[in-house]
Structure formats: C-alpha cells, structure tokens
Structure 1
Amino acid sequence: MPADSICNGVTVPHEHPQAPADLTPPAQLPWLRRLAARLLGRGLSRLQAQHRDSWFLGHATGQRNGHADGLREGYERGRVDGYEAGRQVLIIRDTRPDHAGVPGQDDKLFDDWRLPLTAELKKRFKADVAQRLPAAAQPSAAQWKLIFSDTPSTCVVAGAGAGKSTSLVLRILLLRHYLGFELDALTVVTFTRESRKDFIQRLLQVFALWQVELSPTQGRELVRTFHSRILPLVRSLPGFAQMRAFETLGNEMPAGAEANAESNPFDLRLNDAQRQQLNLCYRDLLADSPRFAELVGSLRQEALLLKPLDPEHPDVQKRAQVTQLAAQRDEELCDVIEDLWFAAGAWPIKGIEPCRETVQIRGSQFHVHGRLEGLDAWVVLGFDPSESGQYQRPGAKLAVRAEWAVKRTLFQAFCDKPLIWLDNYAAARRLAASLAGDAVAGPGFEYKVKGELAPAPLLDAFVSAAGFIENLGLDVNAAVAAMSFAPGDSDAAFFEALALYWKAFEAHLLAQSPPVMTYNRMFALFGENNPENLALLPDPLLRPLAHLMIDEFQDVSPQIVSWLRASLAEIRRRGPAMHTGRVAQHSSLMCVGDDWQSIYGWRGSSPSYFMAFTKAFPSPANTRVMLVENYRSQQHIIDAAEHLVKGAPAISGKKARASGPAAELPLSPVKVFERDEAALAQTLIEHYQQGDSVMMLFRKTSDKLLIEQHLMPVIKADSSLPPGQRRLRQLTYHSAKGLQADAVFMLGDCQYLTSSPYKNQVYRLAGLGKPGDAQAFDTAQKEEVQRLAYVAVTRAVKHCYWHVEKPSAEAAAQPRASSQVQGRLSFFEDLRGQ
C-alpha cells in the first residue's frame, strides 16, 4: 500500500516535517584561528571551563543532527504503523438502486431436472432390446435418442413411416420397468380410434416379451384420447359427478365407460339425440327472444330463395341457347318430378299451396309447383340426389337430372320473382315441419356460411361455426363481438344469431338431468383463462398428466394447447408434495409429430405449436429428435411426396430416406394421369389380382360412388374374405392417415377453391397466421392442400397412381397440389395429355 493514510473515505499523502528555520550552521574560521581555538579549547576543557557562546553553538549542531535522525526514524516507524492501520479502514459507498429489488418471473412449465439414466442402465436396456426384439425392429440411433431423452420436454419430428410407435412403446417400457415409474403418472395420447387400438396392441405385445405385467385394462387406461382425460376432471367438480358429454349423447354406455370413449375429434356428424337437444333449445329461444326470431326469419328468406346467377356466366350463355326447347318440354318435366316427390312421400307439403303458375323466362313460359304464402315466393321441386342419375323421360335424349339443371340455371339468371328451389326430400321435410309450427323439429332450412363448401341445416351450421371458434381457444360471444361484416352481409345476422343461440344452448345443456356439456366447454373450464378450476382438482386426477407422450401433435388445436399448458403449470405449482412417496417425480412432455401431415386446419388445428415447440412449452432444457428413416416406402415415393410440400412452411432439415426392407424395393415413380375412372379401376384390379394390398383414396363421397361402379367385382370378392385377409380399402384422403398399402390409387386433386371471411377473422383473433395477413386462414388452407397430397402419396409402399381432373378456367387460378408436378422429375411420371 502506498505511503498514504485513509480517513473518512479521503486519501491524504504522508510528508517529512520541515527542519527548524533558525538552526543554520555558522561560517568556517581561517585555519590559524581554528588552530589557536583548538589549543585554547583543549586547555579550557582540562580546566573544565565553560564558554557560554560555544555551548549554544554545539547545542544547535546536536539539535539539528538529532532532529534529522529522529525525523527519519519516526517517519519509517509511522509509515509502517499507518499502513497497517489504513488497511483496516472501510470505504462505504451506497451504490444500491433507489427502488426495491423485484424477483424475475419463471415462466417455465417444468422444473430443472433430468431423467435418472445411468450409462449402466442404458447398456442393460439396449442389451435386453437386442435379445428380445427381432433384428428388423432394433431402434436406430435417432430412435434411441428419443427413447433415452432425459430432459423435461422432448420434440420428435417423425416423418411418414418413421417407426415412431415402436420407439414410444420402448420409452414407456423404460419408464415403467427400468425406472419404476408408476403407471398412473403416465399418459399416451392418440387422436383416432384406430391408432389407439393399434398402439395398445403393440404395448401389450412388447411388455409380454419382457414378462412385465400389463393388462388390457391398464393399457386402455394408459393410452387415451384428450377427450377421455378431460371428462374425469369435470366430473370431480361439485354438482357434476354425473356429467355427460354432448358428443356422446345417443351412444349409451355403462356408468363410467364414457371416460374410455373412443370419440373422433374430427367427426362432425350429429345424431338424433344431439339434434333433439339442439331443437329443444331452438324452440325455447325462438319463443323467448324476439331478436332471435327476427334474425332467423331473415336467414330463412336468405337461405330459401334461389341465388341469382350472372347472365354472362359461361353456363348461362351455354344453356340460354336451348331456352325455347326447354320451355316446350317443361310441363312434362314438372309432371315427372312431381311424381317422384309424391312416390317418396315428400309432396304435397303442408304450408305450400300446390299450383302450376307460369313464369316468363326470356319470352318463354316455364312452370312452378307451388306457392309459399309466408314469403310470397314461388316453389319449384328439384331432382333428389338419391334418384338414379340415368333416369329419363320416355323419348327424351337427356337424363332428367340434366334437364332440370338447365331449368335451374335459367331461373337463376333470368327469373325476377322470389323463388324457392327445394333440392331434396330431406330439406323439404324439415321445411314442412317448420311451416307447420313444429319448432321442436328445428328451423327447417339450410344456410350456407360464406366460405363453406355447401349449405347445412341452420343448427348444424351453428355447431360447426361454434366448434371452429372454440377450437381456436376463443369464446363464441367474445369472438362474434370482435368480428365485422359489410352492410347487408347475411353472415352478420347468422353470427349474431349464433351468439344468442350458443349461450342459450350451453345453459340448456347444463339444465339437463344429469347435466350435459360439450367437450370444448370442458377444455375451456381448465384452460389458461381459468387456473382457479385446476387448483380445485385432487392430486390423483392431475397425476396422469405429469408425464405426457402425445402422438400426432401437429394436429392439436389452440384450445388443447391452452389446457396442456395450464395443467403442466398447475403440476409444477404444487411442487414435490404432489409426488411424495412416489418414484415418478416432477413432470415431462414428449410430443411426436410431422408438420407435413397437418391436415385438420379446417377444424381449428394448427401445426404452428409443433413448429415452435420450445416457445409454446418453455422448459429449462429440451431435446429435439429428427426421425428421417422411412421404413414403409421406396425412395421415389418419398421424394415425390416431399416435392409436393416444398412450397409449404416446414421444420428445416427434413429429408427422409428409405430404410430397412423399404430401401431394397424397386424404384417406381408416382404416375399422374388425367382423370379416368375406368382406367384407374382396371389398374387397381390388376394389382389386386397380383396379390398386392390396394387402397382407393377419394376426395368426395360422389367420387366414391363413381369409382365403385367400376370396382364392383373386386369389392365383392374382397368383402367375402375374413377381415384379416382383405386387401382392398376405400377411404378419403383424410381418413387414410396412419395406414398403408402396396399400391395406392388417388382420385381427385387437392385444391382450396373458396375463401372464408369469418374464419380469416377469428384466425387472426386467435393469433394465428403471419402479421399483416388479412386472409390468414385462407393462406393456411392453401398450404394444407399440399400437405394433404403428401399424406395420400406416403400411404404407398411400392406404387402410387394419381388421377386428377382438368381444372376449370376459374379453378386453374387457385393453388392445387398437382401443379407441383411439372417438368422432368425422376420420381414423377406425368402422363396427362397422353
């Protein structure tokens, strides 16, 4: 430390004291005088004489020398003492902020922990797997990474045919048998009935190889759907012990069996029991709410009246040329149609006055079948789709269906009077019940929300729209309040009526005995907006959600994500006390999926949560696994499928390769043809006769009916075989996911041909889509059609044949999956135009 001292935080330098100013030495004498003085001085000293001036002079010299020595010695000693003392002086500077400290917020859903996997345990497990499983079923390096993931969260990107199910089964075996985790702390979630059954079967088979006890009941408890997990949570709340799910009404089950119900989250069909509750609520609300009655009246008029068609439309221009000829045969045509309706028991209709009034169309007379007084509108009966498309009038060149299509087009373009066109018997019966004042039968008319492909009965349309909004994690009433429509847009009345109806419907269901609730409402009760409800649950109900493994995670909806996050946050909040005395501690989440197979956006699902997994489920540590091996398809199938989705946003780094036996299969490109049902059927029959398993995929039910006309011989032959030996499947593109066949036949292109104004609005309200994209849902759907084609192609093991229709001029401008097949590609053989 320097020669300084520290006092009160101020540094002061040490200095030598100055010599006294009056002690200056005298001047020197000449030497003779000094000699004389010395001799005289010696004599005086012997005489002990004293000389007063000399004494003072000597004293001054001694004082000066002693002072200098004393200063030097004192300075050194003081410096040492001062240094030691200075070392003990504390400098206090108050650098703390003026405001009080605030702890940071931990937004993680998991504790910072790791699965206790030692090197010895991993080695033992691998050895057991090598001994008990066949060589073809041995996990790859990437699959072992999945099985041995030790972080709280794990994201597994698994492409088609990646062998993810076997890996998940081994993961469960590791947790249960080698680590001792309790079964009631684990849940595997699958989406569909078939995938659940298949997974349970694999689980039981593998556990049996290890001689580990796992009963079918335990397997069903372990492998669940989201729906079967939420129901017990609701039933634990006071007053809801007997709660029933609206979606399972009409499917009567023993007490407690609903918890294992294998409901399909993508099935929108309503049964009679569900429709009865919808209609009863409609009846009561119609009587109690004048505003609702007014809205329904305006929607009925909008729905029933035939929609106009631009006279310049190509179909109008084509059919207008035969107006006079059509008028000449019109009365006879009306007779034929009326006879069909009468035979079906659908005519006459109470509330509609039968009459044969005439309507002027471009100078020619056409006939109607009746008149609806309430709307002061004419009524025309249509050609019911259930009747044969080949049905003809005697002596006519065209089928009745074709003749009626000409008349409809002419009325749409040139009729200036209100006109109701009843398309089918079922719609007529609903209208008849409504006109008869039977409100329990429902509104009695169909409504087409803009952007939907087809009209639906009004209450069905309510259920569909409410389900979409709620799947996005939104409240129906709040979402409707945030929406806006152009003046005169009938959808504004539809959604106002929906908001009134849905609130009344939920109250109506709860008023039943026992009470009823939709699954969407159940998930909302335990989502992030209602954490207080989760706090009411006992530990045993939350414990199965502690260690979750979710398959097909790309198909989750925002609402499910909210419930999962809220549940994981509550488990962490409860802390170690929730796991006292148990081996399975903390919580974990493993999600397996493939964003290229996300095809349920029309129901509110979104791959964004899988693609941004670490953001959606924040964790102290995360493992990411890429399963790129494809054990199903030969390489050309894989390359063709991936080429179809190259324009869609996706997780980077994905490039599958044929592995295992699939890598040894002969290469054969995906063949693309112009649509020809007869040619398709002939090739399918050839593959079936060669012993291949075949899969017939179609986009629309009408396509299935068309192709079945050519496939009847093979359909009959296959249906006569025992179920385990059948080799023909007919499925939609969507329902084929998860399945495979040697040869796959695809009928129809994948194309998004519409635009949904209301879905675009609620998509943005839910925070989905890119910022600034006003058509966020439309954008997502245009990407989804590419992924749908990917799913269809990847069902094939050896061969894939794709028949696509030539797009109309209007449809050609819309994105379609087959447009990716351009130029010379080794994995595609484009045979269109040949």
Structure 2
Amino acid sequence: MSSSPFLQRWASRLFGEKTAPADNTPARVDEGEPAPFMLFDDWKFALTPGLRKRIKADAAQRLPEHAQPSAAQWKMIFSQAPATTVMAGAGSGKSTSLAMRLLVMHHYLGYSLDSITVITFTRESRKDFIKKMVQLFDLWEINISNGQAQGTVRTFHSRLLPQVHSLPGLADVRVFETLGAGTGNPFDLRINEAQRSLMNACYSELLNRDPDFRARIGALRLHTLRLKRLSPEHPEVKKRAVVTELAARRDEELCDLIEDHWYRAGVWPIEGIEPDRRTVSINGSPFHCHGYIAELDAWVVLGLDPAQNPQMSRPGAKLSVRAEWAVKRTLFQAFCDKPLIWLDNYDEGRRLWGALAGSSVSGPGFDYQVAGDQAGAPLLDAFFASASFIENLGLDVASAIAAMDADALGPDRLFFQALAHFWPAFNQALRQQTPPIMTYNTLFALLGEGAPQHLERLPDALIAPMTHVLVDEFQDISPQIVSWLRASLAEARRRARVAQPSQAAQTSLLCVGDDWQSIYGWRGSSTHYFLAFEQEFPASSTTRVLLSDNYRSQQMIIDAAEHLVRPVRSLPGKKASAAGVHLPPATAVQVLGRDGQHLSQRLREHHRQGHSVLILFRGVSDKSLIDNEVNEIILADGQRPIEQRQIRLMSVHSAKGLQADAVFLLGDCTYAASSPYRNEVYRLAGLAGTGQVDGYDAAQRDEVLRLAYVGITRAVGHCYWYVPPPTRREQAGVTAASARVPNDTVFFTDLRSQGDAFS
C-alpha cells in the first residue's frame, strides 16, 4: 500500500518540505493485482539441510521434551524467505517459536543483534519476551546482557523515538501522549489535565483570531446544547400534553424554587446569560425560561440537579418537583419553537459559563457525542479521539475531512468542519512549544512513506536494526504504523544496496499473528495487512505458516470459540487442535444469564481446588455483578502474596496473552451503533470493499465475534459465559456474539432457558 495523497500532503506540511516517493517506496495495489515492485530483493536465508539438522539436534539436547518445536513451528523457525507470515492461533506457542527464530538468526546464521528488531505491541509483552529470550539464550550458553536484549526487543513506539530524536531540531522533542500524568500508553485516547491545558490554550487562541472557527464552534455548541426535539405524536408527549394548562399554572412557582437552588449552589446567574425570565407559548399555554444567550440566540431553562432530594415537592403539590420538571421538559421538547438550552445539572452550568467567558482553563465547556460513539465526551477529548482514529488509518485529518461525504456525516459535519480547523492549528501550536511537542501519529508520519527524505537523514545505527524485523501480534497493526514499517524496510534495503551494489540486499520481515484475535479496530487497527500480507509486503518468495496446535485449551473450548468466528472473513484452512498433554477432562462452555448465585458458587469451587481464575468483564453492569456477588472472595484472594493469588479481574481486551484454568466471561460482546464518519475514513483509507459504504461497521460486527473468541480461548478447561437473556439482546441492528451460540452442539451448554437471575 503506497502513501496516500493525504499522507504526502500531511508529511510535506510538517516542515514545509516537498516530498516525492523514493524509487523503492511501495505503491498501493488492489488485492489480486500483480505488485509492480518488490519490497525485498530475491535472496534466501542460508539454512541448509545440514544446518537445520544440527539445530534440531541441539534443540533435542538443550530443550525439555515438552518444549520441542512441532513440525509447523520448525517451518516458521527455518523459513528461508525474506517475507514470512505466521498464522498462530490461540495457545499455539508463538512467542517461544519467535524466540527460537531469533536464536537461529543470531547464533547459527551470524546476524548481529544490532541488525534485528523484535517488535511487541505493549511494554508488558516486551518484558515477557525479553525474559523468554534471555532464558533461551542461556540454554545455548550465549551471554546476552539485559541492555542488549532491551535494544533488540522493542515496541513500535520505542523503536521510532530514537529515530525522531536524531533528526535536526528534534533532539529534545516531547511526545504529547506522555505528557503530565499520562499512562504513556500510545493507544490510550484519554487525555489528562496537562494535555488538556495545551489543547484549551490553542482552542482559545484560535477562537479569538479565526472568525470562521468561532462561527462553527457557535453553531456546534448550539446544536449540542439545544434540547432535543420530540414528536408531538410521541406517546409520552401525548400523555403529558393533557396536563399542559395545569403545568403552566404552577410553572412560575416551580421556576422560583429551581432558580433558588441554583443561586444557593453558586452557579446562577451565569456570566454571558441574561437572567431575563421570558414567557414562551407552549402548546397554547404560557411557560417561563430563566435566561437568554445573545451570542447563541438561545433561551435557557435550568433543570433540577440530581444532587437535590428526588422526593422534594412544593407545598400542597401531589407530584415531586422532579416529576413536575419532567412534564415541563417533555412539553418544551415537543412544542417549543425557539432555540432552547436545557441545563440538567450544575456541572453543565459551570462548563457553559467557562465557554461563554472564554476561559482557557475550562475550554469549550460542552460535551459532544459523535454518532457511533458509546458516550459523549468534552469537545476537545472528542476532537483528539476522532483525529487520532483518522491519523491511525494513515490519513491527514484536514484533507480526509474535506474528502468525506458531508451528507453521510449528517449533523456531525459541524463537528468535523470545526475539527478540520482545530487540528492543524493544534499541531502547529505543539511544534512551537519549547522544546517542541508532537503526537505519536505525527512522528510516524514524519518517518513514513510520505516523507522518505527524513529516513535518508538517519544515521546507519538507527536504520540497521530495521534490516531484519520480527513482529508479534501483527493482526493489531494500523495503516499508520504499516507506512513507517515499510518505509524503514525500504530504507534499510536501499542502504544495503549502496554498501554492496553487486549483492542482493538481505532484509527481511517475519510477522506473527492471529486474525481471529484482532480486537482493536475501534482505534484504527485492521486485519487487512495480515490477510493481504503478500500484496502489502511484496517479495519474490513468501513463506506462509499455520500454527494450528493449541497447547493451552481442551478441545471443547477450542471448538466453541471457533464456532463463534466462523462467519468472519479469515485465512483459509484454520482449525485448531488441542495438543496439551496434561489437559483437564473436556467440559463444554456454559452459557448462562446474569446468575450471581451460580457465579459465586463456581468461583468458590475453583478457588478451593487451587485453580487459576480469570474474571473478564465487558461493562459497568458486569462490575456491579462482581461487587454484589464475589467481591468478598476477590478481596480475600488479593490479600495473599502475589505468587499465591489465584484470581485476576480485568477487561477482555486486557486479557490477551493470558490464560487460566477457569474463565468467567461477564457480559455479551455486541455492536449496536453505526459510525458514519468511521465508515467514511475506512473508504478513504482503502479498507472498505469496492462500493462498500459501511466498511467500518462491517469490521466491527466481525470484531465482536473475535472479542468473544479471545475471551473464551483464555480458558484451559472451564469457561462460564454470563449474558443477558435472548429477549434482552434481540434488538434491530444489534450484532451479539452470544446469538451465535447453538443449541445442538456438545461444546456449548446453553442454560439460559432454565431460569435466569437477570437484574
């Protein structure tokens, strides 16, 4: 896949430089078309039959019997091709095989560790692999320091940063994602106060100097804050319209009471809002507003803050104040013909005050929920998340937004028009800091396919480690990182050719992954690069390996998990077989409702038997089930020394790479929303099928099945899946993984029909 026009314009903007693809930069090809170039020269690793025999003999002597590689693992370890793709199913021993491949390259083939990079996705997986690597090298009596191991095993981001720091003017560049109290996790899209302060300052400056941006923000704020309309035909409206006159008679007294609470809370009056109580006609009767915002030409009504007593009522009234206010809100939603902002709580009032006062500390002062997102977020947080997704797919934000179908975006077009103004200004403001600051996406673009001249400036010591690259968890790679990876490999190849013009450049890439475990599409990852590996990383020869032996789970666990993902587009021929020698007796995956009694009973049984346990949750309601039913035993287990603890509690996403004797999976894996803007980004990035308008939605419908697969395949012998009953999830447009549970197989036991304790 070549750098897109979006990416080239983005890269050229970074330092105002003109860019042109280098001769060895890959060009995008559609799947099935012949590649017009080769990313790798035509060469092979010198793994002769005699050398392979010697390596196997050494392994038989130095490795215990249970750790001897299988035939498929030896195929991966002995791959001679410059490009190798390894489909490694759950529990297939891929990390051990990857470490063995590294050993063969260094010890037997003589490649310096300085010319090799092993890439893991997280810092924790990096630590695990370094430990595995050092232990394996020790068995061969190869002394390797911790520093050497850390220099060889990297995350994408830790390999990138030294390259960036070597560029002129960027020796001390800071990364936006690591500022303040940030987690340092480049995939964490939450922003902290230090990061938000920079965004707020840029926002305020842009608001003051750019009338177009100010107008768009005003329109967006009004759209966001304006009370959502209800049809007069809505059942709730019809019911409450009957009491319109009664509600109007009590309205002024109700307004006095509510306004008094806001005044005593110190939130009223609000600067920028005229505290002018005007009368408006609602369904033919007079009602009152509390104020007017001239800047937005909008009326304001104050709501009852949730902190107030829900049973509070006016003297002699039959209904509570909250109920009376609910009637008024419904009537205004159906019959108010004026732009209206309804402030439901004090916090909304404080944020609106900050926005109207132009405070650089409080920022825009309102939340926004992009269509398809699970919840709203402060505007600048929503800006950051949306821009990061676009950039993760290798696109320039402003150019991509300009190319989007405005009609497809619907009301969100105001949001993205404002983002197209804000994001370039924000990146410029970051670069003007002392020292300069950049986001990870900017840094990857700086050294990606859109800017080959920057890679050419790097010293040999920083390109040499990209000569031979081994990537773990390749199914979770994003287009942005793919661009940097291909550009780095191309530059390593170019330098090898310069150094020895008469010889083939010995560069290589080995990627290990499992498309069934790709569960990060929501942040920009895509299985495309794994499924279309030969088109995206073209070579004269490619070795394809399938690791189908599962050394973790018993067969019923495997069959149940694989049944869920059968509809998902995948590499052909995938079917795992249990290969563990000491597996427990086969038991089916039990599917239940939210049965807290069953959860508590089974958890205590496994704990008493000394089993390791993973409790995997999906949402807030799952955590409440934990708090209500099993929190006591979890807390007791947590008091033990770390090495004696049996229970781990985490999200399904956090459990990748882990295993336990028993897994308790709480909650269904569902996709209910549609994301118009992400569908547009998928189209622009070339990740949607030909003519497909819902590429991202389709990918997410597949991903929820893969997420359930990941959760179930953490189990060695026992898996219990607690999901809402079928009637709760049979909604139009909702994809639910549990809907794939059959009632006529031995590997699932569906107990939901035998009573359900759902609450």
- Give the TM-score range, shorter chain: 0.7 to 0.9
Using the alignment, how far apart are the partners of 1:353 and 1:678 within structure 2? 56
Cα separation, partners in 2 of 1:829 and 1:349, compared to 1, 3 Å: farther
Partner of 1:751: 670
Shift of 1:348: 6.6
Code of the aligned partner of 1:757: P
CA-CA distance at 1:377 after TM superposition: 2.0
* Greater alpha carbon shift after TM alignment, 803-812 vs 737-746: 803-812
Say which of 517, 520, 523 aligns to 1:600: 520
Determine helix, strand or coil for the equivalent of 1:502.
helix
Contact 1:392 1:398 in 2 (8 A): no
Q: Distance in 2 between matches of 1:700 and 1:326?
A: 39
> Residue 456 in 1 paired to residue 377 in 2?
yes
Residue of structure 2 equivalent to 1:823: 743
- Which moves more between the two structures, 362-371 or 118-127? 362-371
C-alpha distance in structure 2 between counterparts of 1:573 and 1:531, whole Å: 11
Q: Secondary structure, in 3 states, of the residue corresponding to 1:566?
A: helix
Deviation, 1:244, is 1.1
Using structure 2 for the length normalisation, give the TM-score.
0.85
Listed as ranges, the matches of 1:98-113 within 5 Å are 107-113=37-43
Shift of 1:547: 0.7
Query: Taking every aligned residue pair, what percent have the same amino acid on both sides?
Result: 58
Maintained 8 Å contact 2:177/2:186? no
CA distance in 2, matches of 1:797, 1:286: 56
CA distance in 1, matches of 2:376, 2:47: 57
* Alpha-carbon distance change, 162 to 414 in structure 1, aligned in 2, over 3 angstroms: farther
**Residue by residue, what CA displacement relative to the aligned partner does 1:314-345 show, whole Å, maximum 9, x if unpaired?**
77779989999999999999999999988987
Q: Distance in 2 between matches of 1:787 and 1:488?
A: 28
Deviates more, 1:481-490 or 1:616-625: 481-490
Give the AA of the match of 1:380.
Answer: L
What SS does the aligned partner of 2:671 have?
A: coil
1:585 Cα deviation after fit: 6.9
Q: Is the 8 A contact 1:191 1:264 kept in 2?
A: no
- SS for the counterpart of 2:121 is coil
Residue 299 of structure 2 corresponds to residue 377 of structure 1: yes
Change (3 A) 1:328 1:715: farther
Secondary structure of 1:586's counterpart equals coil
Name the SS of the counterpart of 2:53 in structure 1.
Answer: helix
CA contact (8 A) 1:315 1:409 kept: yes
1:640 aligns with 2:640: no
CA shift, 1:465, in A, is 1.4
What SS class does the counterpart of residue 696 from structure 1 fall into? strand
2:203 is the counterpart of 1:273: no
Q: Shift in Å at residue 477 of structure 1?
A: 1.6
What residue is the counterpart of 1:657 in the other structure? 577
Question: C-alpha root-mean-square deviation of aligned residues, in Å?
Answer: 3.6
- Given candidates 436, 440, 443, the residue that maps to 1:515 is 436
Residue 696 (1) aligns with residue 604 (2): no
Aligned residues: 715
User: Does 1:739 pair with 2:643?
Assistant: no
**1:439 Cα deviation after fit:** 3.1
Q: Which amino acid aligns with 1:740?
A: Q
Distance 1:398 1:688 in 2: 51
Match of 2:454 among 510, 514, 533: 533
Does the 8 Å CA contact 2:164/2:170 hold for their aligned counterparts? yes
Q: Deviations over 1:340-376 (max 9, x none)?
A: 9889876775545779989887799998776656543
Whether the 8 Å CA contact 1:693–1:728 is kept in 2: the answer is yes
TM-score (norm 1): 0.78
AA at the equivalent of 1:612 = A
Output the amino acid matched with 1:798.
G
Instruction: Evaluate the alpha carbon distance shift between residue 802 and residue 316 of structure 1 in structure 2; reply closer, same or farther with a 3 A threshold.
Output: farther
Question: 2:102 matched to 1:181?
Answer: no
> For residue 92 of structure 1, what is the aligned residue in structure 2?
none
1:128-139 map, 5 Å: 128-139=58-69
Task: Please tell me whether residue 780 in structure 1 is matched to residue 702 in structure 2.
Answer: no
User: How many angstroms apart in 2 are the aligned matches of 1:112 and 1:399?
Assistant: 80
- CA shift digits 1:515-564 (9 cap, x unpaired): 11111111112222222222222211111111111011011111111111
What is the one-letter code of the residue matched to 1:572?
R
What is the DSSP-based 3-state SS (H/G/I as helix, E as strand, rest coil) of the residue aligned with 1:201?
Answer: helix
Q: Give the match's secondary structure for 2:144.
A: coil
Matches within 5 A, 1:96-495: 107-250=37-180, 263-310=184-231, 349-351=270-272, 374-375=295-296, 376-381=298-303, 393=311, 412-413=333-334, 417-422=338-343, 426-486=347-407, 489-495=410-416
What letter is aligned with 1:594?
A: D
Is the contact between residue 372 and residue 379 of structure 1 (CA under 8 Å) also seen in structure 2? no
Shift, 1:422, TM fit: 4.0
Query: How far did residue 706 of structure 1 move?
Result: 4.5
How far 1:723 sits from its partner (Å)?
2.4
Distance 2:357 2:620 in 1: 33
Q: Compared with structure 1, are the counterparts of its residues 638 and 715 closer, same or farther at alpha carbon in structure 2 (3 Å cutoff)?
A: same
Which residue number in structure 1 is paired with residue 688 of structure 2? 769
Distance between the aligned counterparts of 1:131 and 1:600, measured in 2?
Answer: 41
> Does the aligned pair in 2 maintain the 1:470–1:476 contact within 8 Å?
yes
- Are the equivalent residues in 2 in contact too, given 1:381–1:422 (CA < 8 A)? yes
- Per-residue CA shift, 1:790-833, capped at 9, x if unaligned? 11111112221222224558724422211111331111111223
Closer, same or farther: CA 739–346 of 1 in aligned 2, 3 Å: farther
How far apart in 2 are the matches of 1:689 and 1:354? 65
Distance between the aligned counterparts of 1:122 and 1:495, measured in 2? Answer: 57
The 10-residue stretch of structure 1 (276-285 or 401-410) with the greater mean CA deviation from structure 2: 401-410
One-letter amino acid of the counterpart of residue 442, structure 2? R
> Quick one: structure 1 residues 749 and 120, their matched pair in 2 at CA, closer, same or farther if it must change by over 3 Å?
same
CA change 1:305–1:115 in 2 (3 A) is: same
CA contact (8 A) 1:632 1:797 kept: yes
CA deviation after TM superposition for structure 1 residue 677, in Å? 4.3
Offset of residue 760 of structure 1: 1.2
Shift of 1:740: 1.7
In 1, distance between residues paired with 2:72 and 2:291? 70
1:800 and 1:309 map into 2 onto residues whose CA distance is 45
Say which is worse superposed, 410-419 or 242-251, in terms of deviation. 410-419
